[in-house]
């Protein structure tokens, strides 16, 4: 089991973006010292209260200079709003400045975002664009000269520079929260990320089973593939203390998600636009904190965390955890304490 980190860097009203970014850097340095595998960061546009990470490669380039072994990746690169050559260049440059520590993940992006409208992307073509864009990026990294003629991208004979330092190239990951997305990931034979914070436990298990079965159906060797789970997490000496210390910060995140869903839906309705399928299947109802603790996170003491993580891994055959300690507005000091407890008491057991 690889133990990694994830963040979106929420910036609530009144907070300083610069201060929140410095907290992120300090958490990256701590993760490096504690032995976490990868620091995965989101790419989210047009939602300043929700996330600071509209330019994730800039943030990861800075983090690369303050860490030595921690791997670094964007989870996820929103492929439909980019040209794939642009992303191939940015990710390869991160690999160079980090000394070969880049990881690459792709997806359709956050379902409550106006990014598709902002960048002129088509919601209905998300999976098709992603599949072709991944093909282009692989070719850009591995071939001396890139030529591509596809449905969405026409690329003449060009030299994509730089190339990643890593050989072999890092594997591709894909994140999804729908069965359709799981099928695409299995068909393409890429590693998969699933969120547990926006899906019911039975859905997470259904998606995991579908992924492993889909790999076999499409002729891929499942022993060479990985499944990662995105897990909001907070630890303390007792479960009561963990809940008390994290409740306000965790619930601020779920409140923000609900506000964004309502705002985006209203905005699309006023414009007479059809609701994207990704939005219709996204989690939207406000959940209570006890439900979050029971179904959508790991919040408790060390024995509880070990038991729940082992249960999740057994049921899903997951190989990586994206632990999300700084979700919402959980205080920086509490995030660091929780990370330290996880690294010293949970990591050795899982």
Tell me what pLDDT residue 120 has. Answer: 94
Task: Assign 112 to helix, strand or coil.
Answer: coil
Query: How many residues make up the chain in this entry?
Result: 350
- Please give the span between the terminal C-alpha atoms of the chain, in angstroms, as a whole number: 7
Would the pLDDT of 284 be above 60? Answer: no
What is the C-alpha separation between 292 and 254, in angstroms, rounded? Answer: 9
Q: Where are the beta strands (DSSP E) in 176-319?
A: 191-195, 227-235, 298-300
**Contact 51/11 with Cβ under 8 angstroms?**
yes
How do residues 313-341 score in pLDDT, each as one tens digit? 999 999 999 999 999 999 999 999 999 99
In 3D space, the residue among 150, 139, 214 whose CA is nearest the CA of residue 179 turns out to be 214
When pLDDT is averaged across residues 77-98 and rounded to a whole number, the result is 98
Tell me what pLDDT residue 248 has. Answer: 97
Domains (ranges, CATH) in the chain? Answer: 2-349 (3.20.20.30)
Q: Which has more pLDDT, 262 or 281?
A: 262
Residues 332, 336, 338, 339: what is their CA dihedral angle, to the nearest 10 degrees?
130
How do residues 58-74 score in pLDDT, each as one tens digit? 999 999 999 999 999 99
What is the C-alpha separation between 44 and 56, in angstroms, rounded? Answer: 9
Q: pTM value?
A: 0.95
């Amino acid at each position: 089991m690889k133990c990694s980190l994830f963040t979106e860097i929420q910036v609530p009203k009144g907070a300083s973006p610069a201060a929140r970014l410095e907290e992120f850097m300090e958490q990256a340095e701590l993760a490096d010292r504690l032995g976490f595998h990868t620091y995965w960061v989101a790419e989210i546009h047009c939602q300043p209260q929700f996330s600071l990470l509209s330019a994730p490669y800039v943030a990861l380039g800075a983090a690369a200079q303050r860490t030595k072994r921690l791997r670094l990746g964007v989870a996820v690169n929103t492929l439909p709003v980019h040209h794939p050559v642009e992303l191939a260049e940015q990710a390869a440059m991160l690999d160079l400045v980090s000394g070969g520590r880049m990881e690459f993940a792709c997806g359709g992006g956050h379902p409550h975002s106006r990014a598709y409208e902002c960048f002129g992307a088509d919601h209905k073509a998300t999976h098709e664009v992603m599949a072709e864009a991944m093909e282009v990026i692989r070719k850009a990294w591995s071939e001396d000269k890139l030529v591509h003629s596809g449905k969405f991208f026409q690329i003449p004979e060009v030299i994509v520079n730089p190339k990643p330092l890593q050989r072999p190239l890092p594997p591709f990951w894909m994140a999804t929260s729908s069965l359709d997305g799981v099928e695409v990931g299995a068909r393409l034979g890429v590693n998969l990320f699933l969120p547990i914070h926006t899906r019911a436990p039975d859905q997470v298990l259904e998606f995991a089973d579908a992924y492993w079965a889909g790999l076999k159906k499409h002729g891929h060797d499942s022993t060479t593939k990985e499944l990662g789970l995105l897990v909001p997490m907070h630890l303390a000496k007792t479960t009561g203390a963990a809940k008390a210390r994290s409740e306000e910060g965790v619930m601020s995140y779920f409140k923000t998600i609900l506000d964004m869903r309502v705002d985006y839906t209203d905005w699309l309705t006023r414009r007479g636009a059809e609701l994207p399928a990704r939005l219709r299947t996204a989690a939207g109802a406000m959940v209570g904190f006890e439900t979050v603790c029971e179904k959508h996170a790991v919040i408790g003491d060390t024995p509880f965390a070990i038991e729940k993580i082992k249960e999740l891994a057994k049921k899903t055959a997951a190989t990586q955890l994206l632990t999300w300690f700084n979700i919402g507005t959980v205080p920086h000091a509490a995030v660091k304490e929780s990370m330290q407890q996880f690294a010293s008491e949970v990591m050795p057991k899982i």
